[in-house]
Amino acid sequence: MSATPAPTTLTVTGLTLTYPDGDDRVTALDRVDLTVRGGEIAAITGPSGSGKSSLLATVSTLVRPDSGRIMLETGGSSVDLARTSRREATSLRRERIGIVFQQPNLIPALTAVEQLEVMRRLGGHTILAPRLRRRIRSQAMDLLESVGLSGHENKRPAQLSGGQRQRVNIARALMHEPDLLVVDEPTSALDQERGAAIIDLILGVVHEHHAATLLVTHDRAHLHRMNAVHHMVDGRLTVGASTEIAA
């Protein structure tokens, strides 16, 4: 009998990040510790300027920390995201890390399905075999259906509502089946009803795809549905207790 692959785990230890400020340095992250397992969502709350965005940027390899470790373990292998080269970090974001930005930042000229397909071409493979093109199109269509956008695949961003654009944004981040999903304020530009629908969607896809997920939010209405809730102030993270996800 073959062994079951080890589940994904994100372990952040002693993460510190400072920025220059004249002759001094400002501490954005102050020895942050955090653990998130695959299929779980850890919510990060806190006032503006507390370090939440800096935490997401370092965990997703967009910013290199001063010190600390960001271990991403999956399938029996592990990598320290805090120690990767620029080229390795780019490859990891393309293959193992999904990022849902606060604003969808969709390409105006591309349809919804093309927004997803282009994610598979970022490695420089502009000429694809017909069989691979069909496989990529099928995967993109399945993801759009999973986020409730079946029938909207040929619409461009200007033809979609704000909630629909955010759904494309989420589906795009899942196109390469990431081990780690980083989500920044997904409901900030949406009304309460559409925001609730987006949270429902994120909960569903995280459990289905088993990604370890960090979600920054100011919306406290949905915190009881997260696996854990942490609070950040002045770069320091208070580790919250796990919660039961509501049905």
Give per-residue pLDDT as tens, 156-191: 999 999 889 988 998 898 888 889 999 998 887 777
Cα distances (Å, whole numbers) of residue 190 to 102, 124, 165, 183, 206: 11, 34, 11, 15, 20
- 2 has a pLDDT exceeding 50: no
Q: Which pLDDT does position 147 carry in this prediction?
A: 85
pLDDT of amino acid 5: 52
Confidence tier at 195 by pLDDT (50, 70, 90)? confident
Determine the topology of domain 1-96+183-189+210-247 in CATH.
Rossmann fold (3.40.50)
Report the predicted TM-score, pTM, of the whole model to 2 decimal places: 0.84
From 27-36, 49-58, 200-209, the region with the lowest mean pLDDT: 200-209
Identify the DSSP state of 242: B
Task: Give the model's pLDDT for residue 50.
Answer: 92
Q: Concatenated DSSP letters for 28-95?
A: EEEEEEEEEETT-EEEEE--TTSSHHHHHHHHTTSS--SEEEEEEEETTEEEEGGG--HHHHHHHHHH
Mean pLDDT, rounded, of the chain: 87
Res 127 pLDDT > 70: no
Average pLDDT over residues 7-30: 92
SS3 of 195, please? Answer: helix
Q: Which residues contact 42 (CB under 8 A, 6 or more apart)?
A: 34, 36, 213, 214, 215, 226, 227, 228, 229, 230
Phi/psi for 16 (5° steps) reads: -130, 135
Range with the poorest average pLDDT among 64-73, 127-136, 165-174: 127-136
- Angle of helix 162-173 versus helix 130-146 axis, rounded to 10: 130
pLDDT of residue 34: 95
Taking 80 as the threshold, does the pLDDT of residue 125 lie above it? no
Beta pairing, strands 24-37 & 9-21: antiparallel
Burial track 165-174 (b if 16+ CB lie within 10 A, e otherwise): bbbbbbbbbb
Residue 245 binned pLDDT confidence (cut-offs 50, 70, 90)? very low
Residue 44, exposed/middle/buried by CB under 10 A (0-12, 13-18, 19+)? buried
Length of the chain in residues, anyone? 247
126 SS3 class:
coil
Model confidence band, residue 207 (pLDDT cutoffs 50, 70, 90): confident
